[in-house]
Amino acid sequence: MSQDVTRIVVFDTTLRDGEQAPGFSMDVAAKLQMARALDALGVDIIEAGFPIASPADSEGTRQVAAAVTRPVIAALARCRPQDIEEAGRALEPAKRRRIHTFLATSDLHLERKLRITREACLDAIVSAVRLARQYTDDVEFSAEDATRSDRDFLCRVVEAAIREGATTINLPDTVGYTVPDEIREFFSEIRRRVPNADKAIFSTHCHDDLGLAVANSIAACEGGVRQIECTINGIGERAGNASLEEIVMALRVRPDRFPFDTGIVSEHLFEASQLLSRLTDEPVQSNKAIVGRNAFAHEAGIHQDGMLKDARTYEIMRPKDVGQSAEQLILGRHSGRHAVARRAEQLGLALTPDEIAEVYHAVITMGEHRKSIGDNDLRRMVERVRTGHTTPA
């Protein structure tokens, strides 16, 4: 990494924020399998669960903490003694552990949800961070709904949490409300105004309600954030969290704009995405950036022709860099002759110009009725053309 590239810590919350979303729950065995994949991917921190939420959550956290030793293992806890004690217990086997304690700081949450005053909120945070520090030196405090919180109050909260020993301060955009310019200024302002801000790492945790979670996370780095919280496939509450794979590849593909990088082994991204999809029985959207089935697929003839001449015409990253297979030229109604000929050649069927014309015609005709055409379809078409059968296969 060159000197002017700043390393961003990747805090993966697939097993906590992601897992708590409808349809994405995982049993202990599934969590363990996913945690091993996250380890291989190179994430810095795995948030393994919210131990007070259920015995299964606590057991899942404990087993991940025992089995996965390279990354820091984090457990979530509200600013309540029982939560922090349970998180501390579940993290006992971990080689490196973090307690992640949180409390909402916006007036809306304080008045309408928690029904407590700002002063009571501040007291609870101070006590929670102090207690968490008795279990580990690595304590993260999150101010839930931070981006909609009063700035003066938020500065007091952050200063107090750092004073009590929080080493990471996470300011979540809990409801996916902010926009890139705003969150960049937000972090710059908080870091400027909090006198002990240099004693902690600032972290961003963006939800995707407006589809801006990835853009907001990167803008937050421009505002001084050094940890991003994200999930595989962007799973998480409601519209999800910022997608890990999109952040990682945006930073890799555009270093000219973003002087940041992560320790992620991008070649494992597709594998991790597929594993999560299998474990949760939830498909990945086919046009999902980076890991979707169509992310590197080309069907339009003009695109296929460009791809065959120079892949850079229609691809800004190589499929193999994210673990996807190369040159996915889909045969269908929109395909071009070049792609048909290339696919046949790859199947060991070198075609003459006349055969190409006939097979191409057969492909287009079949494509009228079918979404895509497989290798066996193509083999049959070639055979029919060669044996003089003119009707489409």
In the complex, the smallest distance separating the C-beta of residue 236 from Zn ion, rounded to whole angstroms, is 6
Count of chain residues binding Zn ion (CB under 5 A): 1
In the complex, the smallest distance separating the C-beta of residue 268 from ligand KIV, rounded to whole angstroms, is 25
In the complex, the smallest distance separating the C-beta of residue 207 from ligand KIV, rounded to whole angstroms, is 6
229 or 299: CB nearest ligand KIV = 229
Are 129 and 87 a contacting pair, CB within 8 Å?
no
206 or 307: CB nearest ligand KIV = 206
In the complex, the smallest distance separating the C-beta of residue 143 from ligand KIV, rounded to whole angstroms, is 8
d(CA 365, CA 370): 9
Are 142 and 100 a contacting pair, CB within 8 Å?
yes
- Phi/psi of residue 328, nearest 5 degrees: -95, 85
In the complex, the smallest distance separating the C-beta of residue 103 from ligand KIV, rounded to whole angstroms, is 9
d(CA 46, CA 34): 10
What is the distance of C-alpha 305 from the center of its chain? Answer: 32
The single residue among 102, 186, 258, 270 that binds ligand KIV, judged by CB under 6 A, is 102
User: Does the footprint of ligand KIV cover residue 205 (CB under 6 A)?
Assistant: yes
Q: What is the dihedral of CA 265, 270, 274, 279, to 10 degrees?
A: 20
104 or 272: CB nearest ligand KIV = 104
User: Does the footprint of ligand KIV cover residue 299 (CB under 6 A)?
Assistant: no
Torsion sign over Cα 369, 373, 376, 378: positive
Q: What residue number has its CB nearest to Zn ion?
A: 17
Q: Angle at the Cα of 212 (from 202 to 179), degrees rounded to 5?
A: 70
- Could you tell which of ligand KIV, Zn ion, none binds residue 222, using a CB distance below 5 to 8 A set by kind? none
Count of chain residues binding ligand KIV (CB under 6 A): 9
The single residue among 19, 86, 144, 377 that binds ligand KIV, judged by CB under 6 A, is 144
- At residue 391, what is the residue type? T
Number of H helices, E strands in the chain: 14, 12
- Could you tell which of Zn ion, ligand KIV, none binds residue 270, using a CB distance below 5 to 8 A set by kind? none
- Could you tell which of Zn ion, ligand KIV, none binds residue 333, using a CB distance below 5 to 8 A set by kind? none
In the complex, the smallest distance separating the C-beta of residue 207 from Zn ion, rounded to whole angstroms, is 6
Are 104 and 145 a contacting pair, CB within 8 Å?
yes
User: Does the footprint of ligand KIV cover residue 138 (CB under 6 A)?
Assistant: no
In the complex, the smallest distance separating the C-beta of residue 283 from ligand KIV, rounded to whole angstroms, is 24
Torsion sign over Cα 19, 20, 25, 29: positive
In the complex, the smallest distance separating the C-beta of residue 62 from Zn ion, rounded to whole angstroms, is 22
**Burial status of residue 371 (CB atoms within 10 A of its CB: 0-12, 13-18, 19 or more):** exposed
d(CA 241, CA 283): 17
Are 243 and 213 a contacting pair, CB within 8 Å?
yes
- Could you tell which of ligand KIV, Zn ion, none binds residue 149, using a CB distance below 5 to 8 A set by kind? none
Give the contacts of 67 (CB within 8 A, at least 6 positions apart).
32, 35, 36
Part in contact with ligand KIV (CB under 6 A); list of ranges 167-175, 285-293, 358-366, 381-389: 167-175
In the complex, the smallest distance separating the C-beta of residue 270 from ligand KIV, rounded to whole angstroms, is 26
45 or 322: CB nearest Zn ion = 45
In the complex, the smallest distance separating the C-beta of residue 62 from ligand KIV, rounded to whole angstroms, is 20
Are 329 and 338 a contacting pair, CB within 8 Å?
no
256: its two tokens: 């000219």
d(CA 215, CA 314): 22
Binding mask 3-32 for Zn ion (x = CB under 5 A): --------------x---------------
The single residue among 101, 136, 168, 174 that binds ligand KIV, judged by CB under 6 A, is 174
Are 183 and 216 a contacting pair, CB within 8 Å?
yes
Residues forming a β-bridge with 11? 45, 229
For residue 73, give the 3-state DSSP assignment: strand
Part in contact with ligand KIV (CB under 6 A); list of ranges 155-163, 166-174, 299-307, 354-362: 166-174
- Could you tell which of Zn ion, ligand KIV, none binds residue 102, using a CB distance below 5 to 8 A set by kind? ligand KIV
Residues interacting with Zn ion, by CB under 5 A? 17
Residues interacting with ligand KIV, by CB under 6 A? 17, 102, 142, 144, 170, 172, 174, 205, 207
